[in-house]
């Protein structure tokens, strides 16, 4: 696993702790989507990218409410920029959620 994914897992640990502190038993577990492909496009590698001239990762969380699982994931640069530009557009979010749920259930 790459350094940025290890770092993302550490951040997700903290996010899960905050979620449990705030929402209690609604967060039963957490899982990090560790596949190399971006869950939005399923084409490019997720992980390190440039944002405003700086090194960055697009670390995100999605609550799979049906199972009480906080799913952490990273996007590739182009998809992260698309999400930032179209934050109110739901289609990319629906695709990400579908792909993450399928990956979680498959594992």
pLDDT, tens only, 35-83: 889 999 999 988 777 778 888 778 888 889 899 998 888 899 889 888 8
Q: Give the count of domains, the chain.
A: 1
pLDDT of res. 96: 94
Q: Judge whether 62 and 71 are in contact, CB under 8 Å.
A: yes
- Asked if the model's pLDDT at residue 88 lies above 60, the reply is no
Distance CA 33, CA 99 (A): 10
Task: Note the pTM of the prediction, 2 decimals.
Answer: 0.80
Whether the pLDDT of residue 102 is over 90: the answer is yes
Q: How far is CA 65 from CA 50, 56, 95, 97, in A?
A: 32, 28, 16, 11
Question: Is 57 strand, coil or helix?
Answer: strand
The domain in which residue 41 lies consists of 3-106
Question: What average pLDDT does the segment 15-21 reach?
Answer: 79
For residues 14-25, average pLDDT: 79
In percent, the amount of the chain with pLDDT more than 90 equals 22
Cα distance between residue 70 and residue 85, in whole Å:
24
Provide the pLDDT for residue 105: 95
Q: How far is CA 48 from the centre of its chain?
A: 13
Q: Where are the beta strands (DSSP E) in the chain?
A: 29-32, 48-51, 54-64, 69-75
């Amino acid at each position: 696993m790459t350094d940025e994914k290890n770092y993302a897992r550490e951040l997700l640990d903290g996010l899960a702790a905050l979620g449990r502190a705030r929402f209690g038993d609604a967060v039963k577990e957490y899982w990090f989507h560790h596949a190399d492909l971006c869950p939005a496009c399923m084409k490019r590698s997720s992980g390190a990218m440039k944002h405003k001239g700086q090194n960055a990762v697009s670390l995100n969380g999605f609550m799979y409410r049906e199972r009480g699982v906080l799913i952490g994931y990273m996007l590739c640069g182009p998809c992260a920029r698309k999400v930032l530009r179209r934050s109110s557009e739901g289609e990319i979010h629906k695709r990400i959620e579908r792909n993450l749920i399928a990956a979680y259930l498959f594992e």
